[in-house]
Amino acid sequence: MRKKEVLPGFGLSLGYTIFYLSLIVLLPLSAAFFKAGELTWPRFLAAVTSPRVLASFRLSFGAALGAALLNAVFGLLVAWVLVRYRFFGKRLVDALVDLPFALPTSVAGIALTAVYARNGWIGRLLEPHGIKVAFTPLGVMVALTFIGLPFVVRTVQPILEDLDADFERAAATLGASRWQTFVRVIFPEIAPALLTGFALAFARGLGEYGSVVFISGNMPMRTEIIPLLIITKLEQYDYRGATAIAVAMLAASLALLLLINTLQRWTAARSAA
Amino acid sequence: MIRRLFLIGAALAFLVLFLFVPLAAIFAEAFRRGAGAYFASFRDPDALSAIRLTLLAAAIAVPLNLVFGVAAAWAIAKFDFAGKSLLTSLIDLPFAVSPVVSGLIYVLLFGAQSWLGPWLSAHHIKIIFAVPGIVLATLFVTFPFVARELIPLMQSQGRDEEIAAVSLGASGWQTFLRVTLPNVKWGLLYGVILCNARAMGEFGAVSVVSGHIRGETTTLPLHVEILYNEYNFVAAFAVASLLALLALVTLGLKSFVEWRMNP
């Protein structure tokens, strides 16, 4: 133990790390919990269970879940295609998968609205079939699908790349069909990563604001997401109401973070084994 | 062969619907009234001030989080201590928090109704609905980027090289600059690129603390929102196209650095 302290700078670097972390992250975050502490328990419950708040929780959870599921299916497909096949423009496609990480969310929001509005490039094609995307809960899901797109691809892709082809050959030699090989041999290997990517996309979707507010139309009880409701309460100077919802959301985020950390350890243990 | 074409086709169709068409739409909408109207959008003094504020916020947030990232990675990767995994998880915390909540916590801390509010206004210090609030919110959302790139990289490299340098008589700074830094420079750059993209592009957190005062507290992503809500679509998409270009440059640099790290 003492031998490791040959290197200098432990006190300084750890001290600064803890100081800066407390100043920028921990102290401000605790402010939210102190503010919520001003509310009595029944008033806190009343603030987070009003019909309008419950409707926004339902929408945010539902749309984030739907978007994460869509991303789980198609993200796996995109990762599979990028790892297993060669095609023209593959490197460009691979790089562009990260676009939702790099594009400011307000830009994504207005672009998706323009495309999926009634007169937009895609909205125009859906309109005759009676499918409305912009200004409906479906629009919220479209925006959250965009925002969550890279997560599943980027968690599954490295696992697929490292997958030992011998197992697949062995399965094929033993008479398994391609589909059986996928379900019985490949899928169990990538399942932890897929679940991690799904959870990451879901967590991101739950808190997302910028890309959603333009396409959702922001109608209370119908297309109002939780983060928007927090902003609305703030603009009405209802700081306690805003904080109560924020603390409920923080609790959900922290629970998800814990789950994701566990999943990531599982993934790491699986790929090390 | 048919299965292959079907799978590639389905994957690309998904990406086209959700990624490529929206990206193309930004530029199509921006140039809808021709190049003249497009470039006129950038002569607006409010747009110029938004560019300045965006650059300022990134110029403060990126170096501060860079120094923090290096310090945190040095402590976590090169030493053993109790509570290390807790510390590593806490560093990732801002990623788990909704952007809106990230802005809200600073309003609760420094806003007019907060405990500090009366003291701040007595001393004429404005943080919320002013530039310092925007910088603080940007610092918070970009906090983990450099640290989370450097920590696993420096952990995987171990401490043998540094111990060798120190036992040969190098000082701590010499060891860091001549041994550690060359080993992690691409990882460091990678973290800085992602940190900068988020700093310039953050919307939700900044939106809560900004107050949307035109020409004073609007960054580029907020300026896009203001123009759009005024139905000034060409200008909104013109400014958006600038941010989209920035995102594409970010992705290009990122791919280059990835290629340098794993050739």
Q: Is residue A200 over pLDDT 60?
A: yes
Q: Which of B60-64, B89-93, B192-196 has the lowest mean pLDDT?
A: B89-93
- Minimal Cβ distance to B93: which of A25, A99, A214: A25
The interface residues of chain A toward chain B in range 121-160, judged by CB-CB distance below 8 A, are 121-122, 142, 145-146, 149
Tally of residues, chain B: 263
- Cβ–Cβ of A103/B14 closer than 8 Å? no
Structure tokens at B202: 């953050």
What contacts A108, CB < 8 A, 6 or more positions away? A100, A143, A146, A147, A210, A211, B22
Q: Is residue A269 over pLDDT 60?
A: yes
- From B72, B208, B147, select the one nearest A32 (Cα to Cα): B208
- Minimal Cβ distance to A203: which of B71, B81, B96: B96
Q: Give me chain B's average pLDDT, please.
A: 94
Contacts of B7 in chain A (CB under 8 A): 77, 80-81, 85
In angstroms, the Cα distances linking B176 to A7, B145, B192 are 10, 20, 18
CATH topology of domain A40-272: MetI-like fold (1.10.3720)
Predicted local confidence at residue A273, as pLDDT: 59
- Cβ–Cβ of B20/A96 closer than 8 Å? yes
Residue of A nearest to B162 (CA): A7
- Cβ–Cβ of A121/B75 closer than 8 Å? no
Amino acid in position A174: L
CA B74/CA B144 separation, integer angstroms: 15
- Minimal Cβ distance to A17: which of B19, B68, B194: B68
Q: Which of A112-121, A176-185, B22-31 has the lowest mean pLDDT?
A: A176-185
CA B259/CA A60 separation, integer angstroms: 38
What is the tens place of the pLDDT at every residue in B98-135? 999 999 999 999 998 888 899 999 999 999 999 999 99
Distance from CA of A52 to the nearest CA of B (A): 18
Predicted local confidence at residue A1, as pLDDT: 44
Predicted local confidence at residue B3, as pLDDT: 86
Contacts of A103 in chain B (CB under 8 A): 23, 201, 243-244, 247
What's the mean pLDDT in A166-183? 87
Q: How many residue pairs bridge chain A and chain B with CB atoms within 8 Å of each other?
A: 267
User: Could you say which DSSP state residue B177 is in?
Assistant: I
Query: Strand, coil or helix: what is B82?
Result: coil
Q: pTM for the complete prediction?
A: 0.94
CA B52/CA B220 separation, integer angstroms: 9
Q: Is B149 on the interface with A (CB under 8 A)?
A: no
What is the tens place of the pLDDT at every residue in A116-172? 999 999 999 999 999 999 999 999 999 999 999 999 999 999 999 988 888 888 888
Predicted local confidence at residue B21, as pLDDT: 97
Structure tokens at A104: 């400011």
**H or E segment and range at residue A228:** helix A226-235
Distance from CA of A202 to the nearest CA of B (A): 11
- From A62, A50, A20, select the one nearest A216 (Cα to Cα): A62
What is the tens place of the pLDDT at every residue in A3-44? 556 789 999 999 999 999 999 999 999 988 888 888 889 999
Q: Is residue B217 over pLDDT 50?
A: yes
Residue of A nearest to B158 (CA): A4
- Minimal Cβ distance to B167: which of A6, A91, A242: A6
What is the tens place of the pLDDT at every residue in B168-182? 999 999 999 999 999
The interface residues of chain B toward chain A in range 21-60, judged by CB-CB distance below 8 A, are 21-23, 25-26, 29
What is the tens place of the pLDDT at every residue in A237-264? 999 999 999 999 999 999 998 898 888 8
ipTM rounded to 2 decimals: 0.93
Predicted local confidence at residue A164, as pLDDT: 80
Predicted local confidence at residue B176, as pLDDT: 94
**H or E segment and range at residue B159:** none
In angstroms, the Cα distances linking A121 to A128, B21, B25, B96 are 13, 8, 8, 34
Predicted local confidence at residue A151, as pLDDT: 96
Q: For chain B, give the percent of residues with pLDDT over 70.
A: 100
What contacts A235, CB < 8 A, 6 or more positions away? none
Predicted local confidence at residue A5, as pLDDT: 67
- Cβ–Cβ of B100/A106 closer than 8 Å? no
Structure tokens at B112: 């007019």
Amino acid in position B13: A
Residue A2 pLDDT grade (very low, low, confident, very high; cuts 50, 70, 90): very low
Q: Is A110 on the interface with B (CB under 8 A)?
A: yes
